[in-house]
Chain A
Amino acid sequence: MEETIAAISTASGQGAISIIRVSGKDAIKIVNSIFKGKNIEKVKSHTIHYGFIVNNQEEIDEVLVTVMHSPKTFTKEDIVEINCHGGIATTNKILEILLEKGARLAEPGEFTKRAFLNGRISLLEAESVGDLIEAKSEAQRRMALNGMSGRLTNIIRNIRNEILDIIANIEVNIDYPEYDDAPNVTPQLLKDKTIKIEKDLQLLLDNSKIGKMIKSGIDIALVGRPNVGKSSILNALLNEEKAIVTDICGTTRDLIEAKMNLNGILFNLIDTAGIRESEDIVEKIGVNKSKQVIETADLVILVLNNNEELTSEDQDLLKMIQEKTHLIFINKTDLETKLKLSINENVIKGNTKDLNGLEKLKKKIMELYHFDKLKEKDLTYLSNIRQINLVKESIKSIEQIHIDLKKEIPVDMLEIHLRNAFDNLGILIGEKYEDELIDKLFKNFCLGK
């Protein structure tokens, strides 16, 4: 067994409990030395124990420790997991004490690396594990699982085969120049065939954006003038989903963000309702803030008041959202209609007293991203930067063909780009060895996963 490593396994700042994972030959001994409770060096494997983490007799936190003996653990080494309460400070303190007692801080992805090196998981699995651990919603979890099952592999393998077909045809032309058995891959033919491949790859990339959204959640901004009912819409949406509203610290402290889980898809609702409404400058600040939020959001929902005529601020906001993916929610339909709006597209009407309108809104959101049609099998998107970059590289190779065709570079030479694309897609599905792959791969994992 290797030297003992430790790290915080849960994402920082989230959740009521944090887990610190310790793995290696002294894992149990080290934790035992700071644990007040049972002697965990003598307990059975795969058992949980209640007690306190102490530092020079001072109780740091009330914890549960899980003791797992080699080899039936994630890393195949002895592992202790400490479930502690409290926020970042306490968790960090415990980690600090562990390091003082002889554990080493784990490098990014080192647990997974050990799991891989000790033969616990395969390379492709290693990559997906990080995603799985990070998964916050059901769709994320499914996507991570799919990464493991190799649906993505199949799609890429098909594209790769198409590339191989062209390469093979070019090769036949070269090796059997006098035979007319195979069509001659002319510059024009090469162009036509590679355009299709480029499209397929581009589609994969576009889909991966949705994949990315699923992974990090879709940012929805609720904008609108004060008093159009943004907050009540937010609360109505959230009440039903029983999500927790939290203040976001930092520069956007005036914004309220909440997480909403719709049919397994995670949405981050950002509401400008928290902007303080101080007399004169309120509308100005409101519009400025809205601008920022609109820029960064994936989807903007503009709320208008059915009971008021369209104001110039409304007009400004309508202009601002034009370029973005957006929905318009006309609120307060229970009151008299004074609003006149010439736009019909992506417009939903409703109010917070009767939930019909809100249901329509939710449905519309799902439709907008085709999430309504999203099934498990569709969740085969490129989900991390390494994968996305390899596809981007492949697209670049194909683009280079189109550039160099204009420079009259012979087809047999342009084949090198096809080979590059072929190789890169091969690396993506683990069918070619690249020296630095392993190191790069594990560096891409977040600490302690």
Chain B
Amino acid sequence: MKYDCIVVGGGHAGCEAAHISAFLGKKTLLITMNKKNIADMPCNPSIGGTAKGVIVRDIDALGGLMGKVADESHFQMKMLNSKKGPAVQSLRCQADKTTYPKNMLKRLENTTNLTIQEGLVENLIAEENKIKGIVLANNEKIKCDALILTTGTYLKSNILRGAVSTEGGPHGEGRSNHLSDNLKRLGFTIQRLKTGTPPRIKADSIDFSKCSIEEGDKKYYTFSHDDKPKYKIEEQQKCYLIYTNQETHQIILNNLEKSSMYGGYVTGIGPRYCPSIEDKIVRFKDKERHQLFLEPESMFYDEWYIQGFSTSMPEDVQEKMVHSLSGLENAIITKYAYAIEYDAIDPLQLKPSLETKVIENLFTAGQINGTSGYEEAAGQGLIAGINAVRKLNNQEPFILKRNESYIGVLIDDLVTKGTKEPYRMLTSRAEYRLLLRHDNADLRLRGYAHELGTITDEMYQNYLNRVQKIEELNNFLDTTKLELTNDVKAKFQEQNFNLPLNKMSLKELLKRPEITFEFLDTLLNIPFEEDIKEVVSIAIKYDGYIKKTNKEIEKMLKLEEKQIPKDINYQKIKNLASEARVKLEQIRPISIGQAARISGVNPSDISILAIYLKKEYGKND
């Protein structure tokens, strides 16, 4: 049996990779240990979040599945940072852990060219540093032209609770015992990472009267650009907020040495942004309490997730910790929290296309690359899938720039800077985030998607319609002048706004900070959808800021355009600092821009490199 493309692992990266490869016409195999765990959500019961919500939108704009599946699988939707600027707003839904995987599986099963098979992959077949196929634990060999590894946390994973370490992955699944060793043998650098998850508790053992309510938004949203909302606001579920207290802290401090982390049982490096509760208490001694969110996992079983309470304490200590919490005095723990450590590759061994530098036609995506999070994984999976297909078609790789998508930022960071802890996307990582907004994902990316062939004609049409409406609204605002009738004057006075001196166009008016579409709608009928008004309003109100960002992008792109030849010999460049030489040799950046972002490569090294390129490769670039 031979496939064009094999995807190993059915997590969020694997689903996107397999789907897009098959959608692009390649005979694709998705191989997973357990079909039931496809698109499993082993940690938090939510999709999206700050920055991550924009990744989901970007995935959707590019033809990925995550947004569409989330839209049909959630029971609460919220726009985060809705009171802050437009650049930092992001959607998050509470996704149902039962329906999300089911809906994803359904879509994959309905994808032409895609076969799903159960199996545990333990080895790769490579000839002359080119991938040829995989070997399963039962020694079955399957051939392929391209391979995408999306193995998540399943490489030599250990689950830790206190001193107890169990071999295996999340959800009681097995682990791949040999794949990471075999990767090492092929020349990959393997690092050990760690993450964790909090305890789950039984819903009817929670005293909700002691918790404060956290509701979803009263407004309808969708992740997907092609969906209408499929839920009813009144059916949205509540989450709850509780706090740790001094007793909880004391229990943790008294038992610190029993935790896997502080007891020295963990070798992997955990993420700083997502510390365990024991970490928080040790590191922030002065803080009297820490927030915890209670979130339902599914409407089909009664388990709740305690967000913010991840721990590697032994089970008996976890019992005490949970019962010290107000509202959870009698809570029944259904699943104990655990830390998990696993093998990952060093992402510096990847090209920006997510193809490995070590083995040709081998791609990797998701946690194996050192990231964390469903959305980060899905974004990489999509890009790896697209680029695997393009490689097979002898096409140039599709590389998103830092000013085009959070996915571009994510991958550029990974392959340029590497990571020593599980990498989570943050808005602060995106220097051009003013352009990487929730509201313009389609405007940024659907054009590419159309060229790549990753979206249907209908999806492309949705985008074209929106572009047209935006233009129409802009014309409308330019040409419509506000008549200063008595009624209009009264409305201005009512709000205490300065009255315009003469008939101003609506566009001029909107430039004022206090004038919003919401207000204009009370004066006259502006017949456009809210999402169109949003995009247009942002462009008008933040014009100066957008221009400023664009100027910076121009500078950046100039450096990106300065390509570094693939055959460059860094040993031949005199006077490079030795650290810079080592880093450049290792990362082999594709442009001066990328080279400049490498830590340890200093401005003077970049000048020397730029001058060398000019001398050796002609004056024009």
Among B247-288, those with CB < 8 Å from A are 273, 284, 287
What residue of chain A has the Cβ atom nearest to residue B431's Cβ? Answer: A419
Among the listed A122, A408, A411, A438, which residue makes an inter-chain contact with B513, where contact means beta carbons less than 8 Å apart?
A408
* Contacts A179-B291, A433-B606 given; does A416 touch B548 at CB 8 Å: yes
What residue of chain A has the Cβ atom nearest to residue B603's Cβ? Answer: A433
Shortest C-beta distance, A218 to chain B (Å), equals 35
Contacts A/B (CB < 8 Å), 30 sampled: A116-B604, A117-B611, A118-B575, A122-B604, A123-B607, A174-B84, A174-B428, A175-B51, A175-B426, A175-B427, A176-B50, A177-B50, A178-B214, A179-B291, A181-B284, A181-B287, A408-B514, A410-B85, A411-B84, A413-B85, A413-B542, A416-B545, A416-B549, A430-B602, A430-B603, A433-B596, A433-B602, A433-B603, A435-B555, A435-B559
What residue of chain B has the Cβ atom nearest to residue A407's Cβ? Answer: B513
What residue of chain B has the Cβ atom nearest to residue A76's Cβ? Answer: B575
Q: Is A193 close to B, CB under 8 A?
A: no
Shortest C-beta distance, B10 to chain A (Å), equals 29
What residue of chain B has the Cβ atom nearest to residue A116's Cβ? Answer: B604
* Contacts A181-B287, A433-B603 given; does A413 touch B545 at CB 8 Å: yes
Which residues of chain B are near A412, meaning CB under 8 Å?
Answer: 81, 84-85, 87-88
Among B505-562, those with CB < 8 Å from A are 513-514, 542, 545, 548-549, 555, 558-559
Q: Is A437 close to B, CB under 8 A?
A: yes
Q: Is A119 close to B, CB under 8 A?
A: yes
Q: Is B434 close to A, CB under 8 A?
A: yes
Q: Is A165 close to B, CB under 8 A?
A: no
B66-87 near A? 1/0 per residue, CB < 8 Å: 0000000000000011001101
Residue in B88, B214, B574, B608 whose Cβ sees the most chain A Cβ within 10 Å: B88
Q: Is A196 close to B, CB under 8 A?
A: no
Shortest C-beta distance, B466 to chain A (Å), equals 24
Q: Is B223 close to A, CB under 8 A?
A: no
The answer to whether B50 and A413 have CB atoms under 8 Å apart is no
What residue of chain B has the Cβ atom nearest to residue A406's Cβ? Answer: B513
Among B287-308, those with CB < 8 Å from A are 287, 291, 293
Which residues of chain B are near A433, meaning CB under 8 Å?
Answer: 596, 602-603, 606
A107-123 near B? 1/0 per residue, CB < 8 Å: 00000000011110011
Q: How far is the CA of A168 from the CA of B429 in the complex (A)?
A: 11
Which residues of chain A are near B426, meaning CB under 8 Å?
Answer: 171, 175
Shortest C-beta distance, B44 to chain A (Å), equals 13
The answer to whether B434 and A416 have CB atoms under 8 Å apart is yes
Q: Is A339 close to B, CB under 8 A?
A: no
The answer to whether A437 and B51 have CB atoms under 8 Å apart is no
Shortest C-beta distance, A77 to chain B (Å), equals 13
Which residues of chain B are near A167, meaning CB under 8 Å?
Answer: 428
Among the listed A175, A430, A434, which residue makes an inter-chain contact with B428, where contact means beta carbons less than 8 Å apart?
A175
The answer to whether A432 and B88 have CB atoms under 8 Å apart is no
Among the listed B291, B548, B575, which residue makes an inter-chain contact with A178, where contact means beta carbons less than 8 Å apart?
B291
Which residues of chain A are near B427, meaning CB under 8 Å?
Answer: 171, 174-175
A160-180 near B? 1/0 per residue, CB < 8 Å: 000000011001011111111
Q: How far is the CA of A419 from the CA of B50 in the complex (A)?
A: 20
Sample of 11 more A-B contacts, CB < 8 Å, known A171-B426, A175-B427, A437-B607: A167-B428, A175-B50, A175-B426, A177-B50, A410-B85, A411-B85, A412-B85, A413-B542, A416-B545, A433-B596, A434-B603
Among B34-73, those with CB < 8 Å from A are 50-51
Taking Cβ atoms with an 8 Å cutoff, the residues of B that contact A are 50-51, 80-81, 84-85, 87-88, 214, 273, 284, 287, 291, 293, 426-428, 431, 434, 513-514, 542, 545, 548-549, 555, 558-559, 574-575, 596, 602-604, 606-608, 611
Q: How far is the CA of A435 from the CA of B434 in the complex (A)?
A: 23
Shortest C-beta distance, B543 to chain A (Å), equals 11
Q: Is A248 close to B, CB under 8 A?
A: no
Among A130-162, those with CB < 8 Å from B are none
Q: How far is the CA of A141 from the CA of B603 in the complex (A)?
A: 27
Shortest C-beta distance, A190 to chain B (Å), equals 13
Shortest C-beta distance, A379 to chain B (Å), equals 25
Q: How far is the CA of A416 from the CA of B435 in the complex (A)?
A: 12
Which residues of chain B are near A122, meaning CB under 8 Å?
Answer: 604
Shortest C-beta distance, B365 to chain A (Å), equals 23
Q: How far is the CA of A178 from the CA of B212 in the complex (A)?
A: 13
Shortest C-beta distance, B212 to chain A (Å), equals 12
Which residues of chain A are near B50, meaning CB under 8 Å?
Answer: 174-177
Q: Is A11 close to B, CB under 8 A?
A: no
The answer to whether B603 and A437 have CB atoms under 8 Å apart is yes
A242-277 near B? 1/0 per residue, CB < 8 Å: 000000000000000000000000000000000000
Which residues of chain B are near A116, meaning CB under 8 Å?
Answer: 604
Shortest C-beta distance, B394 to chain A (Å), equals 34
Shortest C-beta distance, A115 to chain B (Å), equals 11
Shortest C-beta distance, A437 to chain B (Å), equals 7
Which residues of chain A are near B607, meaning CB under 8 Å?
Answer: 117, 123, 437-438
Residue in B293, B559, B575, B603 whose Cβ sees the most chain A Cβ within 10 Å: B603
Q: How far is the CA of A379 from the CA of B550 in the complex (A)?
A: 39
Which residues of chain B are near A1, meaning CB under 8 Å?
Answer: none
Which residues of chain A are near B514, meaning CB under 8 Å?
Answer: 408
Q: Ordered nearest first, which 10 A-B pairs have the shortest CB separation?
A: A410-B85, A119-B575, A171-B428, A408-B513, A433-B603, A412-B85, A174-B88, A433-B596, A413-B85, A412-B88
Q: How far is the CA of A413 from the CA of B270 in the complex (A)?
A: 31
The answer to whether A117 and B88 have CB atoms under 8 Å apart is no
Which residues of chain B are near A117, meaning CB under 8 Å?
Answer: 575, 607-608, 611
Which residues of chain B are near A409, meaning CB under 8 Å?
Answer: 85, 513, 542, 545
Q: How far is the CA of A434 from the CA of B604 in the complex (A)?
A: 10
The answer to whether B84 and A410 have CB atoms under 8 Å apart is yes
Which residues of chain B are near A179, meaning CB under 8 Å?
Answer: 291
Which residues of chain B are near A181, meaning CB under 8 Å?
Answer: 284, 287
Which residues of chain B are near A171, meaning CB under 8 Å?
Answer: 426-428
Q: How far is the CA of A117 from the CA of B574 in the complex (A)?
A: 9
The answer to whether B574 and A119 have CB atoms under 8 Å apart is yes
What residue of chain B has the Cβ atom nearest to residue A123's Cβ? Answer: B604
The answer to whether A432 and B84 have CB atoms under 8 Å apart is no
A398-434 near B? 1/0 per residue, CB < 8 Å: 0000000001111111001001000000000010111
Q: How far is the CA of A175 from the CA of B608 in the complex (A)?
A: 38
Which residues of chain B are near A434, meaning CB under 8 Å?
Answer: 603
Shortest C-beta distance, B556 to chain A (Å), equals 10
Which residues of chain B are near A435, meaning CB under 8 Å?
Answer: 555, 558-559
Q: How far is the CA of A161 from the CA of B558 in the complex (A)?
A: 29
Which residues of chain A are near B603, meaning CB under 8 Å?
Answer: 123, 430, 432-434, 437
* Contacts A171-B428, A412-B87, A416-B434 given; does A178 touch B293 at CB 8 Å: yes
Shortest C-beta distance, A422 to chain B (Å), equals 11
What residue of chain B has the Cβ atom nearest to residue A426's Cβ? Answer: B603
Which residues of chain A are near B434, meaning CB under 8 Å?
Answer: 413, 416
The answer to whether B513 and A177 have CB atoms under 8 Å apart is no
Shortest C-beta distance, A121 to chain B (Å), equals 10
Q: How far is the CA of A12 from the CA of B526 in the complex (A)?
A: 71
Among the listed A119, A177, A413, A438, which residue makes an inter-chain contact with B87, where contact means beta carbons less than 8 Å apart?
A413
Q: How far is the CA of A435 from the CA of B427 in the complex (A)?
A: 26
Shortest C-beta distance, B518 to chain A (Å), equals 15
Q: How far is the CA of A438 from the CA of B214 in the complex (A)?
A: 55
Q: How far is the CA of A117 from the CA of B610 in the complex (A)?
A: 11
Shortest C-beta distance, A164 to chain B (Å), equals 11
What residue of chain B has the Cβ atom nearest to residue A173's Cβ? Answer: B84
What residue of chain B has the Cβ atom nearest to residue A410's Cβ? Answer: B85
Q: How far is the CA of A416 from the CA of B87 in the complex (A)?
A: 12
What residue of chain B has the Cβ atom nearest to residue A170's Cβ? Answer: B428
Which residues of chain A are near B558, meaning CB under 8 Å?
Answer: 435
